[in-house]
């Protein structure tokens, strides 16, 4: 899918009779599911990023152990995408500006002003990157596929919660936005390989009895 998206603009010029949906292998997007042309239904979870650098060494080891257990218990295939994006500090600056208007103390106002200036200069001098984490699960399209997929998604949310990680199932609008992400300026440069930006982790299906 990623390799197709990387070349989509050039191919669209050469093959105008083929729709965008065909290039993306997307038949439909509804509710919180993507239906593919080749007969699969996908559901995507967004795993909220967490700063593990704030954990002690013991806490980090415990967290890694619990994550190893939870992930190894999954019997079905899944894919993890890690997509970097430039940090948006707009809301943070807005909060600081509002706070500055509420304080009367000159020294406090100066501290807040210095904080705002620091944030703006820090971000303007560097491309500060944060990662978005997505977990993709899928089922072959059948009458009960959506029900089974919803069960798997809920199980994943519980597993991640056991690891003290928050996650949400993407809705229709969020799925569309994620797909559009691949067509942003930072990704559609011909010299820009998706593989340089997007990490992909695959988990193959295990041979498990009594599924």
Query: How is 143-160 classified by DSSP, letter by letter?
Result: TTHHHHHHHHHHHHHHHH
Q: By three-state DSSP, how is residue 72 classified? A: helix
> CA angle at residue 145 from 210 to 3, to 5 degrees?
105
Name the residue with higher pLDDT: 85 or 1: 85
- pLDDT attached to residue 125: 58
Residues 146 and 171 in one domain: yes
Residues 75 and 94 in one domain: no
Q: How many domains, in total, are found in the chain? A: 2
Residues 144 and 54 in one domain: yes
d(CA 113, CA 130): 25
Residues 107 and 168 in one domain: no
Mean pLDDT of the chain: 76
Residue 135 falls in which region: left (phi positive, over 0), alpha (psi -120 to 50) or beta: beta
Residues 51 and 97 in one domain: no
Residues 103 and 197 in one domain: no
- pLDDT attached to residue 197: 44
> In the predicted model, is pLDDT for residue 100 greater than 50?
yes
Residues 80 and 181 in one domain: yes
What pLDDT digit, counting tens, does each position of 109-146 carry? 888 888 888 877 776 655 667 788 999 999 999 989 99
Residues 73 and 143 in one domain: yes
Buried residues in 181-208 as b, exposed as e (16+ CB within 10 A): ebeeeebbeeeeebeeebeeeebeeeee
- Taking alpha carbons only, the member of 143, 152, 150, 167 closest to residue 47 is 167
In a domain, 130, yes or no: no
Q: Which tokens in the block code for residue 171?
A: 């809705």
Residues 73 and 11 in one domain: yes
Residues 55 and 144 in one domain: yes
- pLDDT attached to residue 170: 94
d(CA 115, CA 96): 8
* Confidence band, pLDDT 50/70/90 cuts, at residue 71: confident
Domain that holds residue 113: 90-125
Residues 49 and 112 in one domain: no
């Amino acid at each position: 899918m990623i390799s197709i998206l990387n070349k989509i603009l050039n191919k669209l010029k050469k093959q105008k009779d083929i729709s965008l949906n065909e290039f993306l292998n997307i038949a439909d997007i509804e509710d919180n599911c993507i239906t593919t042309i080749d007969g699969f239904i996908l559901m995507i979870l967004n795993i909220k990023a967490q700063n593990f650098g704030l954990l002690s060494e013991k806490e980090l080891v415990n967290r890694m152990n619990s994550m190893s257990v939870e992930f190894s218990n999954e019997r079905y295939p899944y894919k993890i995408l890690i997509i970097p994006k430039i940090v948006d500090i707009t809301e943070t600056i807005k909060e600081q500006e509002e706070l500055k208007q509420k304080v009367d103390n000159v020294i406090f106002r100066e501290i807040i002003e210095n904080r705002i200036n620091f944030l703006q200069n820090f971000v303007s001098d560097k491309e500060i990157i944060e990662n978005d984490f997505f977990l993709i699960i899928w089922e072959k399209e059948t009458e009960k596929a959506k029900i089974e997929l919803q069960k798997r998604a809920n199980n994943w949310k519980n597993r991640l919660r056991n690891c003290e990680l928050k996650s949400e199932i993407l809705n229709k609008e969020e799925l569309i936005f994620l797909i559009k992400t691949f067509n942003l300026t930072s990704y559609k440069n011909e010299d820009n390989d998706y593989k340089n930006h997007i990490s992909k982790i695959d988990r193959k299906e295990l041979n498990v009895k009594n599924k």
